[in-house]
Amino acid sequence: MNRMILSILICLLTINGYSQHGVKFLEGDLQSALNVAKQQKKMVFVDVYTSWCGPCRWMSEEVLQTPEAAKYFDKYFVCFKVDAEKGEGVAFADKYDVHAYPTFLMILPDGTLRHKIVGADTLHIFIPRVERGLKEKTSWGYFMKKYSDGTLQKKEIPMAVDVFRDAGMKEEVKNLTDSLFGLLSPKEKLAPRYWV
């Protein structure tokens, strides 16, 4: 019975997708989105917004409503929106530590946060930020675990800085750049790969 309901939901989403040009956002709750993502072997892309946020509105109405955005996001994700100040969105924002808007989360079907991006961008800048989350070893979750464990290697720090900067983590970015500076030889301090 549950499979039949899920199949009908997917068909309705597909039909609904043909009537709009932009990214298709699933209606309902997060668990429904996670179930669909599990069935389709995708991640859930969550747009966490507020009603008063101008950059949120711009991302939703302009950037994510293009055919290019639809083609990209519909290929890799089940997309879902959450108002962080209404209903279940308050608990959701608390659970995933969302404090700035818009915040975009990439969540695995088991509910694990894989990647986090804070802020609005044009599509050609935004997609490369999202692509980091498609691969485990360039994702926020990967670098956050290594940062928390104290196991980040010197060569990983520049990418971790970029990922944490995208996630709006100013304190962690400062800590990483300070520690990196102390680890570098005078010659390495001149190497472009360490110019973070």
> CA–CA separation, 75 vs 86, rounded Å?
29
- Say if residues 26 and 79 touch (Cβ distance below 8 Å): yes
Where residue 105 falls (left for φ over 0; alpha for ψ -120 to 50; beta otherwise) is beta
**Catalytic residue annotation:** 53, 56
> CA–CA separation, 181 vs 173, rounded Å?
12
**What is the sign of the dihedral through the CA atoms of 105, 47, 20 and 122?**
negative
Return phi, psi of residue 152, to 5°.
Answer: -65, 130
| Three-state SS at 107 | strand
Cα 195 from chain centroid? 25
